């Protein structure tokens, strides 16, 4: 037993400290807040992913940003939430779903979540944590009969400790699979030249000017124009 456990209201003080100094929260196996604990369900990953996407698209103030597959097979759902307590400040909430097989070959889906508030101050008054709790509590209520407790998971999973650390690391460092955008080559405009010569137009695009040809002896007379002056008699 730690000596700090004898401090009265230690957990409440720690929770208040996190609420005033943190603007980001995430789920873990042993969190400070109970609502930030990793969830597991005896259901396929697609069923829970469809439920989260439907709720994010239905709830007021929630905006479903994307639903993609990360490297490692994890389904990542990204949402934007407008906080009423923070006067419409946007909170970016991400939910990660991963599926594994238990000893009997049945699916086990692990739900991770993280949220961060786009605010200049250090603390967000616990709004990012409430966003996670709102969605996770809805999933718990909908699939309450399929929830797997921590003790049961250690009995059902083939490698509980290894899979737990691996899934948490994949979710923290999740990189979405996306095809790189092909860069289109833009045609360089050809500068207009009065002479209309193609060689001068090409040199203008390269940034060099082609000097006009020097007049020879034979072309000097033809190139010069004759100017006649007319005098009017008064």
Q: How far apart are the first and last CA of the chain?
A: 125
- For 117-129, what is each residue's pLDDT tens digit? 877 667 788 888 8
Its domain, for residue 59, covers: 29-172
- For 156-190, what is each residue's pLDDT tens digit? 887 776 666 666 666 666 554 433 333 344 445 44
Predicted pLDDT at 58: 93
**Domain-located, residue 183:** no
- For 29-78, what is each residue's pLDDT tens digit? 888 888 889 999 999 999 999 999 999 999 999 999 999 988 778 899 99
- Residue pair 69/26 in contact (Cβ under 8 Å)? The answer is no
- pLDDT category at 28 given cuts 50, 70, 90 is confident
Residue 19, pLDDT above cutoff 70: no
- In 3D space, the residue among 118, 111, 100 whose CA is nearest the CA of residue 23 turns out to be 118
**Domain-located, residue 70:** yes
Size of the chain, expressed as the number of residues it contains: 234
Axis-axis angle for helices 127-142, 45-58 (nearest 10): 130
The secondary element (H helix, E strand) that includes residue 42 is: none
Q: For all residues of the chain together, what is the average pLDDT?
A: 75
Residue with tokens 């390269």: 206
Between CA 27 and CA 118 the distance in angstroms is: 19
Q: What's the DSSP call for residue 225?
A: P
**Domain-located, residue 58:** yes
**Domain-located, residue 134:** yes
CATH number of the domain bearing residue 50: 3.30.310
For the chain, what is the domain count?
1
**Domain-located, residue 190:** no
Encoded tokens for 159: 């490698």
- For 95-154, what is each residue's pLDDT tens digit? 999 999 988 899 999 999 999 887 766 778 888 889 999 999 999 999 999 999 988 988
């Amino acid at each position: 037993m730690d000596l700090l456990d004898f401090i009265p209201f230690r957990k409440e003080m720690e929770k208040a400290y996190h609420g005033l100094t943190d603007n980001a929260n995430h789920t873990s196996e042993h969190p400070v807040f109970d609502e930030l604990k990793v969830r597991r369900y005896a259901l396929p990953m697609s069923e829970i992913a469809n439920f989260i996407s439907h709720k994010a698209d239905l709830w007021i103030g929630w905006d479903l940003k994307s639903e993609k597959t990360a490297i490692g097979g994890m389904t990542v759902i990204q949402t934007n939430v407008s906080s009423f307590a923070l006067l419409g400040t946007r909170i970016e909430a991400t939910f990660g779903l991963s599926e594994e097989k238990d000893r009997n070959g049945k699916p086990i889906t692990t739900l991770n979540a993280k949220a961060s508030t786009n605010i200049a101050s250090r603390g967000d008054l616990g709004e990012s944590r409430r966003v996670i709790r709102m969605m996770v509590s809805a999933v718990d209520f909908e699939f309450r009969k399929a929830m797997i407790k921590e003790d049961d998971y250690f009995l059902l999973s083939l490698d509980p400790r290894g899979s737990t650390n691996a899934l948490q690391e994949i979710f923290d460092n999740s990189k979405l699979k996306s095809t790189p955008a092909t860069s289109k080559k833009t045609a360089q405009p050809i500068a207009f030249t009065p002479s209309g010569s193609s060689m001068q137009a090409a040199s203008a695009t390269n940034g060099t000017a082609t000097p006009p040809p020097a007049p020879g002896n034979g072309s000097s007379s033809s190139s010069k124009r004759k100017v006649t002056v007319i005098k009017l008699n008064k």
